[in-house]
Amino acid sequence: MSLIEPIEPAAALEVRNLVTELRLRRGTLRPVDGVSFSVAKGQTLGIVGESGSGKSMTCLSLLRLLPRPGGRIAGGEVVVAGTDLTKLSDRELARDWRGRRISMVTQDPMSSLNPVYTIGDQVGAPLRYHRIARTRSDARARAAEALGKVRIPSPEARLHDYPHQFSGGMRQRVVSAMAIACAPEVMIADEPTSSLDVTIQVKMMDLYRQIQEETGVAIVLITHDMGVAASICDRIAVMYAGRIVEQGPAKELFRNPAHPYTQSLLSAIPKLGEKRKRLYALGGQPPSLTAMPKGCRFAPRCALADAKCHASYPGETNLGAGHRTNCWRVAEGGAPHAA
Amino acid sequence: MLLEAQDLKKHFETRKGVVKAVDGVSFALEPGKTFALVGESGCGKSTLAKLMLLLERPTSGSVRFRGREVSSLRGRALRQFRREVQAVFQDPYSSLNPRLRVGKIIAEPMLAQGDLSRAEIRKRVEEALEVVGLPTTAARLYPHEFSGGQRQRIAVARALAVRPEVVILDEPTSALDVSIRAQILNLLSDVQDEFGLSYLIIAHDLALVEHFSDATGVMYLGNMVEQGPTEAVFGAPAHPYTQALLASAPRPDPDHVLPTDVIIGEIGSAMNVPSGCPFHPRCPQRTAQCETVQPERHVSAPGAWARCHLLHGPAPRPASLRPDQLERTST
């Protein structure tokens, strides 16, 4: 790192060259293929990408929740507070880390809550499991406290309610309360607002911001919605076909997207208040995991691709202020504009 | 007017009470134009779409197609209506039968009509595939052999094959990825221009609606709270609910700050619709009057109206309604 680079705040989570493999009967696939990023304390990193880009697999890898048998981390490091989680045994990871210091919020609040247990039992469960609460009444008190943190009105009274007695937005708050109950350093949120209506979504995003201010938790937010990413993230990483093709500070990435894929994603979405016109439509579809292109994985869909792009994968080009991209066009000093 | 709803109501009786899913909605779809219905989940927009497709029958009110009452059609007349009004649904994974080849899927509505020869049907299947940008060889394959975007093209081909006048699009792109979404939206625009189709689109993505529609209706708990040309509704939203929806929409702009005070709480229940203005419990601008008196419609811009006590414009007089119908629809 050169002296001109601003000193980045201490990373709460650092992922280096993560590779995840899925062994299937028809062969071994690599849904995550060399992913590196870091999130500072109190900051939010957005990972954006389309379905199949590997963003959810990246998250599941961080928590070692990969499908079994077949799924495994084949390389790289996941460092939280100086500890490489990939080196831990399953037992150590479950006992001291997962749900304790690195937690997760999933997309669908209905399927991540058990319909036959009360909210109090479910929010209290991680507290009991990680022995933060030693007694039932202590777990209850702390669960109520967590529900209060996610702004659920009269939390004590609602401990005895079941998931079906909550609305969709309130359920997502309950799931978030479970995730922050043990005061983790890192919270991974996989599409936490995409099943919610916009007026509820805006409140959830505000809630995450408040929780972050209060607790300093680092958040990794997975989303396919560029609008959601723009409104809550400090940094953004764009994934395509198992790799991060561009990452940088949110403002910089939206104002000066460097990678042709990022550019076409931003031009493909209709924007409010914009004159009605034909949308830029990216042709084709992402490559299949079983038939990855040899060179740049976006090359088959890229208007600017040439022989070099098809032949080999581009290295990383540093554009300053933590803005990086993997594109031959950028590496050669051109300013690509595909869309 | 091509397709019209007049004071349409759909109430469902349940053990716990009556759900007023659609409660007195009127709107009209003009030939060759696109009318969008927006609103949060539970506002009744999907029930309204089913009513317009005659998949559900209204509790009261009427559905008119080319000025003719159609809401009680049966048998042959209903089949004729289905030829004119087709649909494309949200999820191309569940809307295509996985056991049928694509050719059969596209042919089915024509087979149901029962008046075309096999050769004619085969020709129309090929034409439809061509229109949506798929090779004619696709007819021999099964849905699982296609990606999500291609499946939605198949669903569009199926709707087009019977040569309808109106296509009802229920969240046609929300199951698709961003880059595929633009392809399908452009395709829908192209076929609309080519065949002079009218669209009724249901969507929750406001930017998409602004981009895609000519007129917009905003629904809240079974009621239409604001309606008018899309430019007016989006450019100068008059109802506090429309204002809140637009302000809450996340924008791909890191400088845009989302407000947190434009709306209170969550959508109410259609089983227990609040008195007065149905939006009043969530409205930051409510007054005592809003809690008891249901607001009338007030003109908010040329051709646009909103139901809100804060407005003082005159009542709208839609050209599509005959004077004898006015009283019924403006209550």
pLDDT tens for residues A237-279?
999 999 999 999 999 999 999 999 999 999 999 999 887 678 8
Check whether the bond before A67 is cis (ω within 30° of 0): no
User: Are A77 and A219 part of one and the same domain?
Assistant: yes
Interface mutation target, options A231, A275, A301, chain B, most CBs of B under 10 Å: A231
Residue type at position A151? R
Give domain status of residue A35, yes or no.
Answer: yes
Q: Which of A206, A224, A272 sits opposite B178 (nearest CB)?
A: A224
Task: Answer yes or no: is pLDDT of B268 > 60.
Answer: yes
A198 contacts in B (CB within 8 Å)?
Answer: 40, 204, 206, 245, 248-250
Q: How many domains does chain A have?
A: 2
Contact between B310 and B246 (Cβ < 8 Å): no
Residue contact B207–A271, C-beta within 8 A: yes
User: Are A271 and A167 part of one and the same domain?
Assistant: no
Give domain status of residue A2, yes or no.
Answer: no
Interface mutation target, options B45, B179, B181, B216, chain A, most CBs of A under 10 Å: B179
User: Are A194 and A264 part of one and the same domain?
Assistant: yes
Which 3 state secondary structure label does DSSP give B15? coil
Give domain status of residue A337, yes or no.
Answer: no
The per-residue pLDDT of chain A, averaged, comes to 91
**Final residue before a domain boundary, out of A149, A181, A213:** A181
Supply the pLDDT for residue A335. Answer: 65
User: Are A170 and A232 part of one and the same domain?
Assistant: no
User: Are A95 and A57 part of one and the same domain?
Assistant: yes
User: Are A256 and A309 part of one and the same domain?
Assistant: yes
Kindly state whether A230 is in contact with chain B, defined as any CB-CB distance less than 8 angstroms: yes
Residue B287 CB neighbours (<10 A): 13
**Category of B44 on φ-ψ map: left (φ > 0), alpha (ψ -120 to 50) or beta:** left
User: Are A289 and A224 part of one and the same domain?
Assistant: yes
User: Are A304 and A277 part of one and the same domain?
Assistant: yes
Residue with tokens 């000193």: A7
Per residue in B190-213, pLDDT tens?
999 999 999 999 998 999 999 999
Kindly state whether A313 is in contact with chain B, defined as any CB-CB distance less than 8 angstroms: no
Residue contact A254–B253, C-beta within 8 A: yes
User: Are A218 and A324 part of one and the same domain?
Assistant: yes
Q: How confident is the model at residue A2 (pLDDT cuts 50, 70, 90)?
A: very low
User: Are A83 and A106 part of one and the same domain?
Assistant: no
Whole-Å CA distances, B30 to A86, A309, B214, B322: 61, 49, 10, 16
Q: Which of A206, A230, A268 sits opposite B251 (nearest CB)?
A: A230
Residue in chain B lying closest to A285 (CA): B180
Q: How confident is the model at residue A4 (pLDDT cuts 50, 70, 90)?
A: low
- Complex ipTM, two decimals? 0.84
Per residue in A109-121, pLDDT tens?
778 899 999 999 9
Contact between A10 and A41 (Cβ < 8 Å): yes
Give domain status of residue A336, yes or no.
Answer: no
Q: How confident is the model at residue B326 (pLDDT cuts 50, 70, 90)?
A: very low
List the domain range (segments joined by +) for residue A88.
11-101+182-331
User: Are A323 and A267 part of one and the same domain?
Assistant: yes
**Greater model confidence, A338 or B206:** B206
d(Cα B69, Cα B165) in Å, to the nearest integer? 17
Give domain status of residue A4, yes or no.
Answer: no
Give domain status of residue A217, yes or no.
Answer: yes
**Final residue before a domain boundary, out of A164, A181, A198:** A181
Contact between A272 and A289 (Cβ < 8 Å): no
Supply the pLDDT for residue B259. Answer: 87
User: Are A214 and A317 part of one and the same domain?
Assistant: yes
Q: Which of B51, B137, B143 has the alpha carbon at shortest distance from B95?
A: B143
Give domain status of residue A5, yes or no.
Answer: no
**Final residue before a domain boundary, out of A166, A181, A196:** A181
Residue in chain A lying closest to B244 (CA): A199
Give domain status of residue A256, yes or no.
Answer: yes
Supply the CATH number for residue A261's domain: 3.40.50.300
Q: How confident is the model at residue A337 (pLDDT cuts 50, 70, 90)?
A: low
